[in-house]
Amino acid sequence: GIHACVVGADRVVVNGDTANKIGTYQLAIAAKHHGVPFFVALDTTGIDINTPTGAGIPIEERPAQELRAIAGVQVAPEAINVWNPAFDVTPGSLIAGIITELGVAYPDPTTGEYDMAKFLADAKGSSEPPAKK
């Protein structure tokens, strides 16, 4: 069976909400449904401690024409409204852990929420070399 699902991420905000290529959110939902832990992996440079939640992540939109035409053949009216996001946001509540080069961040066991700013501060503090005597 499948023991875990690990995906990369472009950006993680303070509460663990994660922006990644479109389709990541649906993978997280499928993993949750099947009882498979869902992990996100990224370098700490992708952690945004200035944005509290995923609602503050701007989502890049791809050109509408990508959905109106296939191989140059128009398949939908030019005037039809199109939403074509390049990224989606996976809620931190669906993520079992956030893997970084400094260790793995887990949600608080009592609240179930992430505090990525605290994780970074703690991880960077513990990676400092011991003071010389």
| Helix, strand, coil share (%) of the chain residues, nearest 5 | 25, 25, 50
Residue 35's alpha-carbon distances to 5, 28, 108, in angstroms, are: 11, 10, 20
Set 10, 48, 115, 122: catalytic member: 10
Active site residue 48: no
Buried/exposed code over 13-35 (b: 16+ C-beta within 10 A; e: otherwise): bbbbbbbbeeebbebbeebbeee
What length is written for the chain? 133
Which residues are tagged catalytic? 10
